[in-house]
Chain A
Amino acid sequence: MPQPGARGFLRRMSFLYSRVLDLLLVLTVAIIIVPVTMQIFARFTDIVPRYIWTEELSRFLLVWMIMIGSMIGVREGTHFTVDLFPVLRGRIKAAMDILAGLFVLAMAVVFLWWGWEFTDTAWFRISELAELPLWTIHMAWPIAGLTWIIFQGERMWDDLQVLIHGEREQP
Chain B
Amino acid sequence: MGGNVIDPGTAAWILFGGFFGMLALRVPVAVALGLACLPPLLIEDRLWPMILVQETFNAYNSFILLAVPFFLLAANLMTIGGITDRLIRLSRALVGHLPGSLAQINVVLSIFFAGISGSSTADAASQGKMFIEAQRREGYDVSFSVAITAVSAVLAAIIPPSIMMIVWGGVLTVSIGGLFLAGVIPGLLLGLVQMATVHAYAKARGYPTYGKATWGEFGSALFVSVPALMTPFIIIGGKIFGWFTATEAACIAVLYAMILSVIVYREMNLKGLWTAFSETGRFAAITLFCVGTASAFGWLLAFYKIPDALLSGVSAWEMGPILTGFFIAGVFLVVGCFLDAIPAIIIVGTILQPVAEAAGMHPIHFAMVGIVSLAFGLVTPPYGLCLLISCAVAGVRVMDVLKDTCIMLLPMLGVLALLILWPDVALFLPRLLEPDFLK
Which of A's residues lie within 8 Å of B, judged by CB?
Answer: 22, 25-26, 28-30, 32-33, 36-37, 39-40, 43-44, 55, 58-60, 62-63, 65-70, 72-73, 76, 78-84, 86, 96-97, 99-100, 103-104, 106-107, 110-111, 113-115, 117-118, 137-138, 141
The reply to whether A110 and B52 form a contact with Cβ atoms under 8 Å apart is yes
Partner of A62, one of B35, B60, B290, B383: B60
Closest Cβ of chain A: how far from B388's Cβ, in Å? 9
- How far apart sit A67 and B289, CA to CA, in the bound complex (Å)? 7
21 contacts between A and B (CB under 8 A): A22-B278, A25-B278, A25-B282, A29-B280, A29-B281, A33-B255, A36-B66, A36-B251, A59-B66, A65-B285, A66-B285, A69-B281, A69-B288, A73-B282, A78-B286, A86-B398, A99-B26, A110-B38, A111-B53, A114-B53, A141-B53
Taking chain B's interface residues, is the majority helix, strand, or loop, or is none over half, making it mixed? helix
Measured between beta carbons, the chain B residues less than 8 angstroms from A72 are: 282, 285
Please give me the residue from chain B that is nearest to A138 by CB atom. B57
4 closest A-B pairs by beta carbon, nearest first, are: A69-B285, A79-B28, A25-B281, A36-B251
Residue-by-residue, is B44-73 near A (CB-CB < 8 Å gives 1, otherwise 0)?
000011101110110011110110011001
Q: Are B281 and A80 in contact (CB under 8 A)?
A: no
Q: Count A-B pairs with CB separation below 8 Å.
A: 173
> Distance in Å from the Cβ of B48 to the closest Cβ of chain A?
8
Do A29 and B277 contact each other (CB < 8 Å), given the known contacts A60-B61, A66-B289? yes
Contact A55 B63 (CB under 8 A): yes
Q: Which residue on B lies nearest to A59, using beta carbons? A: B61
Q: Which of B17-25, B225-233, B261-269 contacts A (4 or more CB under 8 A)?
A: B17-25
B23, B24, B63, B286: residue with the most chain A Cβ atoms closer than 10 Å: B286
Neighbour of A66 across the interface among B27, B35, B280, B288, CB < 8 A:
B288
Q: Are B397 and A86 in contact (CB under 8 A)?
A: yes
Determine the chain A residues whose CB is within 8 A of the CB of B255 once the complex forms. Answer: 33, 37
| Chain B residues within CB distance 8 Å of chain A | 22-32, 34-35, 38, 48-50, 52-54, 56-57, 60-63, 65-66, 69-70, 73, 243-244, 247-248, 251-252, 254-255, 274, 277-278, 280-282, 284-286, 288-290, 292, 338, 340, 382-383, 385, 397-398
Q: In the complex, what residues of B have CB within 8 A of residue A86's CB? A: 397-398
- When A82-B23, A103-B22 are in contact, do A73 and B285 touch as well, CB less than 8 Å? yes
Contacts of A60 in B (CB 8 A): 61
Inside 8 A of A118's CB, which chain B residues have their CB?
50, 53-54, 57
- Collect the chain A residues with CB atoms within 8 Å of residue B70's CB: 33, 36
CA distance A169 to B290 in the complex (A): 34
Whether B53 lies near A33 (C-beta < 8 A) is: no
- A79 near B25 with CB under 8 A, answer no
- Assess whether B285 is in contact with A100, with CB atoms less than 8 Å apart: no
B52 neighbours in A (Cβ, 8 Å): 110, 114
Which residues of B are found within 8 Å of A76, using beta-carbon distances?
282
Q: Contact at A80–B30, with CB atoms within 8 Å?
A: yes
Residue of A nearest to B38 (CB): A110
Q: Which residues of B contact A84 (CB under 8 A)?
A: 24, 26, 382
Question: Contact: A106 with B53, CB < 8 Å?
Answer: no
Q: Complex: how many Å from CA A132 to CA B177?
A: 33
Main secondary structure on chain A at its contact with chain B?
A: helix
Provide the bound-state CA to CA distance between A67 and B280, in Å. Answer: 14
A107 touches B34 (CB 8 A): yes
- Supposing A68-B285, A118-B53, A141-B53 touch, asked if A79 and B31 sit within 8 A by C-beta, the answer is yes
Rounded to whole angstroms, the CA-CA distance of A137 and B53 in the bound complex is: 12
- Cα separation A78 to B290 with both chains bound (whole Å): 12
Given A55-B63, A106-B35, A114-B52, the answer on whether A81 and B26 have CB atoms closer than 8 Å is yes
Instruction: Establish whether residues B66 and A32, one from each chain, have CB atoms under 8 Å apart when the complex forms.
Output: yes
Docked-complex contact B277 and A66, CB < 8 angstroms: no
Residue of B nearest to A104 (CB): B31
Closest chain-A Cβ to B17's Cβ sits at a distance in Å of 14
A81 adjacent to B27 (CB under 8 Å)? yes
Return the contact of A33 from the options B57, B244, B251, B397 (Cβ within 8 A): B251
Q: Is B49 a contact partner of A114 (Cβ separation < 8 A)?
A: yes
* A63 interface neighbour in B49, B54, B61, B340, Cβ under 8 Å: B61
With A59-B61, A82-B29 as contacts: A26 and B281 at CB distance below 8 Å: yes
A59 and B53 contacting across the interface, CB-CB below 8 Å? no
Alpha-carbon gap, A96 to B57, bound state (A) = 30
Inter-chain CA distance A170–B274, complex, in Å, is 36
Name the one of A44, A69, A141 contacting B286, with C-beta atoms under 8 angstroms: A69
